[in-house]
Structures are given as C-alpha cells and as structure tokens.
Structure 1
Amino acid sequence: MKKIYYLSTCSTCSRIIKELGLTPDNITMQDIKTEAMTAEQVEQMKDMAGSYEALFSRRSMKYKAWNLGDKTLTEEDYKNYILEEYTFLKRPVIILDDQIFVGNSKKVVEAAKAAL
C-alpha cells in the first residue's frame, strides 16, 4: 500500500508532495481536512509508528489553545485528540508498504525519498 495523509491547505505538505513527485497516479492521497481519518486508519498508523504520541503534533495551534501543554497526556488521549481534530496529526504521514514516514523534518523527507 502506498498512501499519504496530508492537508491540501498546508504549504509544507504541498512542497513535500511536489519534491517527492507524488500524484494520485502513483499513491493514494487523503486530504485529512475533507476526508476524515477513521479510527482504523489511525490505529494502523500507530501500529507502524509505534505510538500515538509519535503521530501527534505539538505544533498545532489548538495544542496551545486547548492548554494541552499543561496536561499529562496518555496514549489514549493522543489517539482521541488526533481523531477529534485533524490538525493534531503530524503531517504528512506517508505509508510505503511496510514503512511509515511521519512529519516534515528533512531527515524524514529524505528517508521517504530514498524509499520511493
């Protein structure tokens, strides 16, 4: 399976998609704003990434707005926040068969490029 979870309004996601040469012809593309993630999809990402925390974005504007930095979050909390609010997913998430690439760090993007 080749799939990317991204946000079409995110310039960083757009840049990475262009840099990797991803198109609907060569990868399944899911805009998480217009097509909500299912619990099964988030569970699959967690299984591949190792934890819900690895998928969770602390850069989300709602992280500060909801005062989540002041709370001790559990794995269940991370899961529920990601399912409740798409902006809590660290983006993009690229799945290439049995590999997962989470986020937009240079290292992650280079690893995804090498895997393609």
Structure 2
Amino acid sequence: MRKFYYLSSCDTCQKIMKTLDLPKDVELIDIKQTNIDAKTLDWLKEKVGSYEGMFSKRAMKFRSQGLHEMNLTEADYRKYMLEEYTFLKRPFVIYDEHVWIGNAKKEVESAREFFAKNK
C-alpha cells in the first residue's frame, strides 16, 4: 500500500507533500473527498498501536460535540474517524510497511529522510 491521505485545503498538508517529494506510485487521497476506509484504518491501528494515536483532538468538532468532556474508548475514536474526516490527524503517509501520521516535526522529518534515501 502506497498512499498519502491529506486535506487539499490544508496548507500544512500541501507543504509536507512538497517536502517529502513522494514517488510517483504513491496514491494521493484527499480525505474530504474520500474518507479513509475501515480496512485501512484498522491496518494503521495495528502499525501505530491505537486509534487515539491517529485521532485529532485539535478538530473543531472535538470540542463543539463535547467529546473533550467524555472518556472516549478505542471503539469511539475509530467510529468518529470513520464518520468524519476532520477527526483524522493529517497527513497519513503509507509506504509499504512504513507509516507516518500527523504533522509533528519528527514524523515529517522521518518520512522526508526515508524518501530521500529510497529514491
């Protein structure tokens, strides 16, 4: 699997995409147009270790829906991410068995180094 899940209207995602200089065989998926599917999300959970690790608590709907006041379970995180793309940390980069999630500096740098070495 070689995919880059991003939000096309997000400047940070656009910047990261350019920084990574992704190979041509990576499928670009705008999560606003095509949200992540359950099979891929579950596969990522196995790689990352939890659904919470892929969940964006910065999403505006996190507070507006009162989720910040609830004790969410792993099943809740999964459900919300499948229902609403804004709950996904972004971008998601999947390249074979390698996964990078979010825009944290260390994640982006790790992905950038990987793609630079594997051109």
**SS of residue paired to 2:99:** strand
Instruction: State the TM-score, normalizing by the size of structure 2.
Output: 0.92
Q: Distance in 1 between matches of 2:32 and 2:22?
A: 19
Q: Distance in 2 between matches of 1:90 and 1:83?
A: 12
Q: Distance in 2 between matches of 1:99 and 1:113?
A: 12
Question: Which residues of 2 match residues 1-116 of structure 1 at below 5 A?
Answer: 1-22=1-22, 25-116=24-115
- Give 5+ residue unaligned stretches, structure 1: none
Q: Distance in 1 between matches of 2:113 and 2:22?
A: 13
Displacement of 1:59 in angstroms is 0.5
Q: Which has the higher contact order (CA 8 A, sep 6+)?
A: 2
Displacement of 1:26 in angstroms is 3.4
Displacement of 1:22 in angstroms is 2.6
Q: Distance in 2 between matches of 1:17 and 1:91?
A: 11
RMSD (Å) for aligned C-alpha atoms:
1.1
Displacement of 1:36 in angstroms is 2.2
Q: Aligned AA for 1:6?
A: Y
Displacement of 1:52 in angstroms is 0.3
**SS of residue paired to 1:94:** strand
Q: Distance in 2 between matches of 1:33 and 1:22?
A: 20
Q: Distance in 2 between matches of 1:111 and 1:3?
A: 16
- Give 5+ residue unaligned stretches, structure 2: none
Share of identical aligned residues, percent?
Answer: 46
